[in-house]
Amino acid sequence: MRLDAKIPLGPLADKWNNYKQHAKLVNPANRKKLDIIVVGTGLAGASCAASLAEQGYNVKSFCFQDTARRAHSVAAQGGINAAKNYKNDGDSVYRMFYDTIKGGDFRSREANVYRLAECSAALIDQAVSQGVPFAREYGGYLNNRSFGGVQVSRTFYARGQTGQQLLLGAYQALMRQEHLGKVKTYTRHEMLELVVVDGKARGIITRDLLTGKIERYAANAVVLATGGYGKVYYLSTLAMGCNSSAIWRTHKKGALMSGVSWIQFHPTSLPQSGEHQSKLTLMSESLRNDGRIWVPSKADDTRAPKDIPETERDYYLERRYPAFGNLSPRDIASRAAKERIDAGCGVGPMKNSVCLDFSKAISEQGKDKIREKYSNLFSMYEKITGINAYEQPMLISPAAHFTMGGLWVDYQLMTTIPGLFALGEANFADHGANRLGANSLLQACVDGYFIAPYTIPDYLAGELHTVKIDTDHPAFIEAENSVKKQLDQLLNINGHLSADYYHKALGKLLYNKCGLSRSKTSLLSAIKEIKELRASFYQDLKITGDNQVNSELEKAGRVADYLELGELMCYDALTREESCGAHFREEYQTADGEAVRNDRDFCFVSAWEWKGYDQVQELHKEPLIFENVDLTIRSYK
């Protein structure tokens, strides 16, 4: 299989314009005849569905929550990047492109990243016109701030709830189209299978999560905007429902998966406090602007952090990365924390945390100033942990957060199955091996508002003469049967262990062996253990309840997919014999523990092709060609 990224010709800065000028159009009269399925109502899905409906297509929108407004984009806190240069501090499309390419450790496509930066300014305009209440200066103009790893102010924010406000904007646009009859939303519906007819995506099979009814939906194109799969680690910053099922099932139908092992761990999450815990809550990274990060200098120190004197503290980020210190990028800060925790210097009841200390900031700036900046975060911290962080250091630790991997897509965001598009966190594009803060909301929005509305019509223009597919087509029947068969199988295993048990076991295994750092030995043993866990799952799973509302059945299907995906993550990590971005292979590091990238052998995107159960998947390589930037070493020393 030859992977063609279909990058338009011409200079970097002209590629997207060239593409748009030559993209095929669909006559308005024909648009009414075309149906599009959009799975997912996060920023990527809602924006895409609303924008296509505005153009006149018939859109069906699906999500598993009770309303579109609850998609996980709602949880994003920090902000969204855009090269507006409002602060006159030298920002530009090129600079944003460069920061993003470098942030991703030179493992993303130049053309995609440039387009992301290029579309960013219009996105802020779009959101403002929808009424998103971004922060404003006193004079009435938009405010912004700088965010992890960059030197300009390009992050727009709406308090600590940027994702929520952007999502409400997109959701409202979607609701408007629903009212106009151009969108039909199907909430509490989970897509369980893709239907492929003559090699093209032509529909989906869903389960109505209230009635248990299996339903068939046909369309001329299918869009997956189903978010990330960081929840594979069980403990993560993601919502409980986030999962990989939609992309994984299409993977098994022929769509390739890329960069699967590239998973970002966020350094400022609340630590796990016990076995009962179901998720880890993110604390805004902005805390690192004033908080200093440290651990006790000697291992196994049993004193409470506040009793450890200054001279016996190791401010390891300031020590190792004097230039960036506590503001080092996420992958660096997370890994440095793990290194200290593994060395026995972790604090807290489970010895799994590091201190984020505000005592210096409080003594210099006063408690009131700190309260003014972060009071909501301090009270959230107290709500969850019962600890007052004005008086003692916060305890934080890295948590699985964002998946750079996902379905392989070309420049048009189309997967290797014609007619199947993937948007937002569900695709692998744009972030390379590491994501810069505030770039993900942007990618989700830009994919949905500005890119798919050009590329999907370009595809549909070639589909006008395809006969309308009927849901009685054998491909639909077959897909429906396979879904029913799987559900029956899961319901009838009748073993002893819950879906959560397996999810937790898989998560722990991946965290230890394919998490913040990986080695050949750890990955090989993970692959073996995942196989065993999977075998046990199919013998010993227990689901109670019936085939209607049944959260256990929902979970089990997702865990079944995670058990397969987890294995591919390990293979992906195993074949990439280098350290890049979030992927740290212990064998490839410098004497002082820094990542060693290998551009000669690994400057490519890994794309995996499903070969069947218990078969090793086939690796395809899309070479990454850099014409506009030099591949430098990322150094934050």
Partner 1 sequence: MKLNLKIWRQENRDSSGKMTDYQLNEVSEHMSFLEMIDLLNETLIQKGERVIEFDHDCREGICGQCGVMINGQAHGPLANTTTCQLHMRSFKDGDTIYIEPFRAASFPILRDLKIDRSGFDRIIQAGGFITTSTGQAPEANSIPISHQIAENAFDSAACIGCGACVATCKNSSAALFTSAKITHMALLPQGKLEAATRVANMISQMDAEGFGHCSNTEACEVECPQAISVLNIARMNYEYNKSMLFKP
Ligand X SMILES: Cc1cc2nc3c(=O)[nH]c(=O)nc-3n(C[C@H](O)[C@H](O)[C@H](O)COP(=O)(O)OP(=O)(O)OC[C@H]3O[C@@H](n4cnc5c(N)ncnc54)[C@H](O)[C@@H]3O)c2cc1C
Q: Supply the minimum distance, in Å, between the C-beta of residue 605 and partner 1.
A: 29
Among ligand X, partner 1, none, the one that 164 touches (CB under a kind-dependent 5 to 8 A) is: partner 1
Q: d(Cα 350, Cα 382) in Å, to the nearest integer?
A: 18
50 touches partner 1 (CB under 8 A): yes
**Site residues (CB under 8 A) for partner 1, limited to 128-167:** 128-131, 133-142, 158-159, 161, 164-165
86 touches partner 1 (CB under 8 A): yes
60 touches partner 1 (CB under 8 A): no
Helix %, strand %, coil % for the chain, to 5? 40, 15, 40
Among ligand X, partner 1, none, the one that 178 touches (CB under a kind-dependent 5 to 8 A) is: partner 1
Helix axes 110-129, 15-22, angle to 10 degrees: 70
**Site residues (CB under 8 A) for partner 1, limited to 160-189:** 161, 164-165, 168, 171-173, 175-176, 178-179, 185, 187
**Site residues (CB under 8 A) for partner 1, limited to 245-274:** 273-274
Whether 165 contacts 76, CB under 8 Å: no
Among partner 1, ligand X, none, the one that 190 touches (CB under a kind-dependent 5 to 8 A) is: ligand X
Residue nearest ligand X, CB atom distance: 42
Which residue is catalytic, options 154, 288, 330, 435? 330
DSSP string, 279-314: ---B--GGGGGT-EEEEESSTT--S-GGGS-GGGEE
**Site residues (CB under 6 A) for ligand X, limited to 363-422:** 402
244 touches partner 1 (CB under 8 A): no
Torsion of CA 424, 429, 434, 435, to 10 degrees: -40
Helix intervals (H) in 156-292: 162-179, 245-252
The residues, ordered by sequence, that sit 6+ positions from 321 with a Cβ below 8 Å of its Cβ are 328, 332, 336, 636, 637
**Site residues (CB under 6 A) for ligand X, limited to 213-242:** 225-228, 237-238
Q: Supply the minimum distance, in Å, between the C-beta of residue 447 and partner 1.
A: 12
Among ligand X, partner 1, none, the one that 456 touches (CB under a kind-dependent 5 to 8 A) is: none
Q: Report the residue number, 105 or 430, with the smaller CB distance to ligand X.
A: 430
Among partner 1, ligand X, none, the one that 327 touches (CB under a kind-dependent 5 to 8 A) is: none
Stretch that binds partner 1, among 29-37, 50-58, 426-434, 556-564 (CB under 8 A): 50-58
Q: Supply the minimum distance, in Å, between the C-beta of residue 295 and partner 1.
A: 22
78 touches ligand X (CB under 6 A): yes
Among ligand X, partner 1, none, the one that 364 touches (CB under a kind-dependent 5 to 8 A) is: none
Distances 426 to 216, 245, 305, 380, 405 between C-alpha atoms, Å: 22, 11, 40, 30, 8
Whether 231 contacts 243, CB under 8 Å: yes
**Site residues (CB under 6 A) for ligand X, limited to 79-138:** 79-80
Element (H, E) at 61: strand 58-62
Evaluate the CA torsion angle 93, 94, 96, 101 in order and state its sign.
Answer: positive
- Lay out the site mask for ligand X across 5-44 (x = CB under 6 A, - = otherwise): ----------------------------------xxxxxx
Element (H, E) at 241: none
Q: How many CB atoms lie within 10 A of CB 287?
A: 22
- Distance from chain centroid for Cα 525: 26
Q: Supply the minimum distance, in Å, between the C-beta of residue 306 and partner 1.
A: 20
Kind of pairing, strands 263-269 and 618-623? unpaired
Q: Report the residue number, 22 or 383, with the smaller CB distance to partner 1.
A: 383
Whether 488 contacts 544, CB under 8 Å: no
552 touches partner 1 (CB under 8 A): yes
Q: Report the residue number, 142 or 197, with the smaller CB distance to partner 1.
A: 142
Strands of 113-172, DSSP E: 155-156
Q: d(Cα 151, Cα 562) in Å, to the nearest integer?
A: 38
Q: d(Cα 296, Cα 340) in Å, to the nearest integer?
A: 9
Q: Per-residue b/e over 9-30, b at no fewer than 16 CB within 10 Å?
A: eeebeebbeebeeebeebeeee
Q: Supply the minimum distance, in Å, between the C-beta of residue 630 and ligand X.
A: 27
Q: Which two tokens stand for residue 608?
A: 């995996």
Q: Which two tokens stand for residue 349?
A: 């009841």
Kindly tell me which residue out of 126, 261, 334, 440 binds ligand X, with binding defined by CB under 6 A.
Answer: 440
628 touches ligand X (CB under 6 A): no
Kindly tell me which residue out of 245, 328, 416, 617 binds ligand X, with binding defined by CB under 6 A.
Answer: 245
- Lay out the site mask for ligand X across 272-291 (x = CB under 6 A, - = otherwise): ----------x---------
Among ligand X, partner 1, none, the one that 461 touches (CB under a kind-dependent 5 to 8 A) is: none
Q: How many CB atoms lie within 10 A of CB 374?
A: 24
Q: Supply the minimum distance, in Å, between the C-beta of residue 380 and partner 1.
A: 8
Among ligand X, partner 1, none, the one that 134 touches (CB under a kind-dependent 5 to 8 A) is: partner 1
**Site residues (CB under 8 A) for partner 1, limited to 520-549:** 542-546, 548-549
Q: Supply the minimum distance, in Å, between the C-beta of residue 589 and ligand X.
A: 28
Kind of pairing, strands 604-609 and 257-258? antiparallel
Kindly tell me which residue out of 15, 31, 60, 70 binds partner 1, with binding defined by CB under 8 A.
Answer: 70
**Site residues (CB under 6 A) for ligand X, limited to 572-601:** none
Among ligand X, partner 1, none, the one that 482 touches (CB under a kind-dependent 5 to 8 A) is: none
Q: d(Cα 73, Cα 610) in Å, to the nearest integer?
A: 29
DSSP string, 125-142: HHHHHTT----B-TTSSB
The residues, ordered by sequence, that sit 6+ positions from 173 with a Cβ below 8 Å of its Cβ are 46, 47, 50, 51, 130
Q: For tokens 């506040």, what's the residue?
A: 306
72 touches ligand X (CB under 6 A): yes
Among partner 1, ligand X, none, the one that 138 touches (CB under a kind-dependent 5 to 8 A) is: partner 1
Among partner 1, ligand X, none, the one that 42 touches (CB under a kind-dependent 5 to 8 A) is: ligand X
Strands of 415-485, DSSP E: 420-422
**Site residues (CB under 8 A) for partner 1, limited to 360-389:** 380, 383-386
240 touches partner 1 (CB under 8 A): yes
Stretch that binds ligand X, among 176-184, 334-342, 424-432, 562-570 (CB under 6 A): 424-432
461 touches partner 1 (CB under 8 A): no
Among the listed residues 104, 8, 1, 135, the one whose alpha carbon sits nearest the alpha carbon of residue 440: 104
Residue 115 appears among annotated catalytic residues: no
Kind of pairing, strands 35-39 and 80-81? unpaired
Q: Is 334 helix (H, G, I), strand (E, B) or coil?
A: helix
Residues labelled catalytic: 330
Using CB under 6 A as the criterion, which residues of the chain lie in contact with ligand X when the complex forms? 39-45, 62-65, 71-73, 75-80, 162-163, 190-191, 225-228, 237-238, 243, 245-246, 282, 402, 424-426, 438-442, 444
